[in-house]
Copies of this chain bind each other. A is one copy, B any other.
Amino acid sequence: MQGKIYLVPCPIIEDGISSLPPATLEVLHTLDHFIVERARTARRFIKESGHPKPISELEIFELDKHGKVEGLKDFIFKTKKGSSIGVISEAGCPGVADPGADIVAIAHREDIDVSPCVGPSSILLALMSSGMSGQSFCFNGYLSNKKLALVKQLKTLESIAHKQKQTQIFMDAPYRNEFLLSTCKDSLRPNTMLCVAVDISASTEYIKTKKVSEWESAEFKFFHKRPAIVMIG
Contacts and interface: CB of A to CB of B under 8 A. Distances in A.
A126 B121 CA distance: 13
A136 interface: yes
Contacts of A93: 124, 128, 134
Interface stretch (A58-66, A138-146, A215-223): A138-146
A27 B195 CA distance: 24
Interface string A170-196: 000000000000000000000000010
B136 A105 contact: no
A7 interface: yes
A127 B18 contact: no
Given A19-B23, A21-B20, A135-B141, A108 B208 contact: yes
A97 B18 contact: no
A227 interface: no
Interface stretch (A28-36, A46-54, A78-86, A199-207): A199-207
A209 B125 contact: no
Contacts of A106: 131
Contacts of A21: 18-21, 118-120
Given A18-B23, A26-B18, A96 B128 contact: yes
B135 A97 contact: yes
Contacts of A127: 95-96
Nearest to A96: B134
Contacts of A23: 16, 18-19
Most B CB contacts (10 A, CB to CB) among A7, A22, A208 go to A22
27 contacts: A16-B23, A18-B21, A20-B21, A20-B118, A93-B128, A94-B128, A95-B128, A95-B130, A96-B134, A97-B135, A98-B134, A101-B134, A104-B209, A105-B209, A107-B131, A108-B131, A114-B131, A114-B207, A115-B205, A115-B207, A116-B125, A116-B126, A118-B118, A124-B124, A136-B140, A136-B141, A138-B139
Q: Which 3 A-B pairs have the closest CB atoms?
A: A105-B131, A104-B131, A96-B134
Interface of A: 7, 16, 18-24, 26, 93-98, 100-108, 113-116, 118-121, 124-141, 166, 195, 200-201, 205, 207-210
